[in-house]
Each structure stands twice: as C-alpha cells, then as structure tokens.
A and B are shown apart, each in its own frame.
Chain A
C-alpha cells in the first residue's frame, strides 16, 4: 500500500482545526470583547470603555504585583531546584552519606506529586500550613503553646508566598523529570569528568558546562511553567490571598459577576494578563541571556576555587523540604478523608470513620463519573492523534517537526483564562455548549501537548532498523506498525496515556467554563467544597482526584510486565 502525502496534510489540517482554531477563536472573541464588541450585550462598536473600567476596578495594581511575585518566585525556585536535583542525581561518585541513600526515595515520591492534580496539592498544602492545619497541630501545644489556632496568615498571605510554595511543589517534579529526560541527549558523565580533571568541583562544572547545554532543551517546558504560575486560577483560589487576588483569579471573579456588563472589563483583564505573560516570558529570556553572559565572563576567569558548599547545603535542604511538603499535602488529605472527629490541637484525629468512602462506593458521584469519562476519552483521543502524527512523520519525513512543536505547545503557552471564555462564546455561536463532547475537546487541547511530548523521545529513539528489517522480510507497513512499534513501545505509550489522564483530571477552568455547569468534575467539586467547613469531605474528593491518575500510572507500569510474563 503506497502512501501519498495526503495523510500529512490531513494531519496538519486536523491539528490546525483541532488546536490552533479553538485557541485563535477564543483569543479573538476575548480581544473583541476587550475593545467593546460583545453583541450579546448589545455592544457593537469599538471603544476603550472596557479598559477604562478595568483600570478603575479596585486592587488592580496589587493583583498585578501579586501575580508577578508569585509567578516569578515560583518559576525561578522550581527551575533552580530542578537543575540542582539533576546535578544531585548525576553525582554518583561522592562519599556514601545519608543523603545518597535518600536518592531513590526522593525520586519515588516525585511520581505521586507529579500525578496529583494542582488543586489537590493546593488543598492539601492549605490543610497543612493553615493556622489550624496539620503542622500547627503536630507542634501544639507542646512547642507553640497554642490552644486555639493562632491569628497568622500562613496561607493566603498578602505576598502570595504560600501560593508560590504550592506552585513550586507541583512544578519542581515536572521540571526535574523533564531535565532528566533532556540530559540523556548530553554526554554528561564524560564532560563532567573532563571538567573535574581540570580542577572544577562537581557543582561548579555542572553550572558552567551542563546547565548552558541543558537550558535550551527545556526552554519550552520552563515557559509552560512560567505561564501557568502567572495564570493559575485553582491554586490561587486555595492558596492566594482573597482580597485582592491574583489577576487571573480576579478576572475569573469578574467573569462570574452577577453584573453581566463586567464581562467587558473582564475580557480586557484577560488581554492584560496575556500581555503581562508575553512580557514576562521576554523578561525571563532576557534575564537568562544576561546570566549566560555573566557565566561566560566567569568561565574566562577560570575560577575554580569558589566554594559552592553553602549554596549546595541550602539547596539540598530546600529540595528535601519541598518534596516532603508535597508528600505531606497528599497524606493530610488521606487523613482527613478517614477522620470522624479531629479537633485542634490534637496531632491525629480523635476518632476515625470510613463513612464517606463507603458512601462513595454505593453511590458513585456524578463528578467522578464525568471526570473519568472526560479523562478516558481525551487521553485516548490524544494518544491516537499523537501516534498518528508520529507515524505519518516517520513515513513521510519530518521537516515540519520544529514548527509543529510550537504549534502543539500553543494551548499551554496562552493563559487559559484568556481564551477559554472566548472559546465558550465561539462554541455558543456554533450551537455547541455544555456538552460532554465540547468539554472533551477543550481538555484535548491541553492533554495532547503533554501526551505528545512524553511520547516523542521514546518514539524517535526506537531503532529504525527494526522496521526496516521487518519490511524487508515482506511485512506490510500496517502490520509492522502494530506488531513491532506498538509492542516495543508499549510502556512509553501507556505512560503517555497515564500522563494524559493526569492532565485531564487536573483541568479546572476548561470544565468550569466550557461545561457551563452541565459537566461536573472532581476538581470543581474539590475546589468549591474547600471553601466550606467540612474538611473530611474535601479530603475524600481531594484524594480521589489524586488517586485516579495514580491508578492510571500503576496500570501503565504493570501492564507491560504482565504482557512480558505471558510471553
């Protein structure tokens, strides 16, 4: 069966329509509304009123400050810790200490933290750090003399630091894993050996030789993290201050205000957020270039004596604390979910109960059902599309790869709030809204990039000669594809699928805005319950949120082993 190039054009069109068009339509509608054109409200003329209104809304400057501080602090720390963590993993010839024994343990904890949705971690962290949270309970009253929760803003503080901590906990594992994968493309051990033989310490060599080569490979994921940190709504709601909130959260509130005319300044705020993010990305790159320049000056001086050990000590401690906080956030959710009564300042619940879990099994909530359907459908579709795209590229040559990479990343680089509302309006015009299908499509926009990215390296690493040998033995392309590629790539395929499930479960705004209340999700339930008083119920939903991706990962890791055993 011979292939003409129509599959390539078909794929390109599918990608364009599936991904590019929704984002552009969404952005377009938002920009129209920001400049006064929203026919549904009877506004048809271009005007700058919306912007005027926006600048008169209270707390805008504080929101901006908050967004920038939490976003940049989170991204910088997460990247620094990820780079340091990678250096730590590659430091195989130091003295055997307590820390080296911790390495596999730390790497194992990263998986649940990575799989858990942002909202679950945020809720867990809030339950941990709050004045009445677990940490306060563990240390009261014997250390702190608190009989009642103190009046301290440990969560939802005015500088957005607890939000930054929550973001770091979630982004560190992501950037760390992305770095470790990218490092396989660099001959790390020999280059480090060379540098060390010239007198540089491991950390010194890592900073001057490995990091400059690594950064270009992880640039796009770092941008994704920066964009998310500046535009998150669910984490900001749990951990950021309430009045005034970050810009993204404020925009959400204006969108949902009972006064529909606030839709116009809300759209203007979305555009402002978009501009802010674009400027931030440029600022970030400028800072990186300045750092590279300084680095080169330092390299020319040949300095080897700088003592990095204080630096190393601080970073190791911070890394361990971050990972522990992530683990404890998930644990506290689990604890609350089986609590009956837990009053301050007891370190552990006074009485336990499985009531809520039993209830769950007899009456499966629709939130769980909907989340599962959307997750399974969107990750299944994303995986099929990714495989189709990669297979087509394999057979027809992949010059378009670099271009399509940015294209595929696009939904992750544009703040969700900036285009989801516009997309909803767009869907409404087409008569599609509030249905499972549109929500699945909206999820697909975000699931596909992650699925694609996690699959592409393993796919390309597959030795092409396997397929060449098979075709020379007379097998048709289709049969090659199934029997060879799919079975050799079973593990990466399943992992990409599991990642898709995790991303879908994590989505908050798409389900909220596109679903129009008709499609529920575990994340929406958890976030709205979290503002209430029953931490036990929140614990159940929060943990459920985290368990679904974990089960997908376990399945993805176990199935290949079962298949191998049966052979």
Chain B
C-alpha cells in the first residue's frame, strides 16, 4: 500500500496556502512534513484525510494504493488521523473507545473483546478496559488514541504532532512504537512535526512546506 500526493495544494479565499507537494510514501514508511507555523501543515493533513470544509479548495490529487481519493467521502477513505490531543471520547470507557475504533469486519462479541484486550496488552495497558479516559496520564491516553486509530485497520495514517505534549523520553518511546506498528501493518504514515530530532528519526522522505510567495 502506498500513499501518493501529486501536486497537492490547498486554496482558501483565493490564496494558495503552500507550494504544491509531490510525495510518495511506500508501505511501512514514515514520512515527515515540516514547515513554518501557520503555513498549513494541519490543513494538508486534513486535505489528505478528507476533513476540509467547503471553505477550502484542493488542487492536485491524493492516491492511495493507486486509487484516487480526492472525490471519495471522508468515511470511505480508510485514512486514520491523530491530533495533538488524544481526544478520547469522554463518555466511553477506555475499552469502549477502542471498540468504537475496531473495524466492523471483525464480528462476534467475544472475538471483538479479545482483540481489544490484545491491543491493550500491546500498549502495556492490560486491564484498563473499564477505566475512565480522564483518569489516564497523557502518555497512556496517547497510546490508547493510537491503538484506537490502528484498530480501525486504516490503509494510511496521518499524525498531526501527536506527541508534542509529552516529555522527551515518552515521545521517543511512542515514536518507536508507532514506527513498529507502521512496519508491521505495512501502512504509509505521515507525521507532522516541529521537532527536528523527530524528522531525523523517520525512515522516509521529509518534506518542508514552503509558501507560494
């Protein structure tokens, strides 16, 4: 599975936010997107994921596994996204958050529960099924958020500075965990970051967004 961006750019109110981006990310690869503040890194991710509202126009195209995604509705793209905050749904327990993410192709209450427990073990959060997300630490919440996104079996993953609120050591651990998951699941990943160390640690292409002026 590969993710391809062909001359992708976003326009709003008549102005082009950044110079068109060309990028190919192979399966298992993690690419990095950097750029000055306010240039539109989050907007780029939203464009790839399909989350932009009608105030924005997209030029260029997005291809996932050689299928054009630009016109596909957001819930059919199977492109996962993670934001800066874990955003665990507060009205659901940790386990139910994961159950929400778990793809519906897996049926049966017992099998689903087993899958979720397996994911919790993977994230070193065994036995946390019935916990209230608000009682978890920042690092734990980030892990649950990542597992939730991965349980949906996305074909690609977009991450908008998801570890920026964690301390250095935790950030390193989460990154390694993320890279491992990407390789194991053979999915392309795009990581937006401000941190040059993070950019240096990825195994894929690094793109720096530039303004058009």
Contact = CB atoms under 8 A, between A and B. Distances in A.
Interface of A: 92-94, 96, 100, 187, 190-191, 193-202, 208-209, 212-213, 296, 299-305
Counting from the closest, the 3 A-B pairs by CB-CB distance are A92-B53, A198-B152, A302-B104
Contacts of B182: none
Main secondary structure of the interface of A (DSSP, over half): helix
B135 interface: no
Contacts of B90: 213
Interface in B56-73: none
Contacts of B128: none
A301 B102 CA distance: 9
Contacts of B106: 302
A302 B79 contact: no
A492 B184 CA distance: 55
Given A191-B89, A213-B90, A197 B154 contact: yes
Contact of B96 (A193, A194, A300): A300
Contacts of A302: 99-104, 106, 112
A196 B75 contact: yes
B89 A92 contact: no
Given A93-B54, A187-B87, A213-B91, A199 B75 contact: yes
Given A190-B83, A196-B75, A198-B152, A305 B104 contact: yes
B92 interface: yes
Contact of A93 (B52, B96, B152): B52
B51 interface: yes
Given A199-B78, A213-B91, A304-B75, A92 B54 contact: yes
Given A93-B53, A209-B89, A194 B102 contact: no
B78 A193 contact: no
A197 B155 CA distance: 11
Contacts of A187: 85, 87
A299 B81 contact: no
A299 B49 contact: no
Interface string B148-161: 11001010000000
Given A213-B90, A299-B96, A197 B103 contact: no
B100 A198 contact: yes
B109 interface: yes
A302 B76 CA distance: 15
Contacts of B78: 199
B74 interface: yes
Contacts of B109: 300-301
A339 B46 CA distance: 57
Contact of A194 (B46, B77, B81, B91): B81
B178 to A, nearest CB: 16
A566 B202 CA distance: 57
A305 B105 CA distance: 10
Contacts of B99: 299-300, 302
A302 B78 CA distance: 15
Interface string B77-121: 111110101010111100010011111101001001000000000
Given A187-B87, A300-B109, A300-B112, A193 B51 contact: yes
Contacts of B50: 93, 196
B100 A208 contact: yes
Contacts of B80: 197-198
B96 A296 contact: yes
B74 A197 contact: yes
Contacts of A305: 104
Contacts of B101: 198, 302
18 contacts: A92-B54, A93-B50, A93-B54, A190-B87, A193-B83, A194-B87, A195-B100, A196-B75, A198-B148, A198-B149, A199-B76, A202-B75, A213-B90, A300-B109, A300-B112, A302-B99, A302-B112, A304-B104
A98 to B, nearest CB: 14
A93 B85 CA distance: 22
B83 A197 contact: no
Contacts of B49: 193, 197
Nearest to A297: B109
Contacts of B52: 93
A187 B90 CA distance: 11
Contacts of B53: 92-93
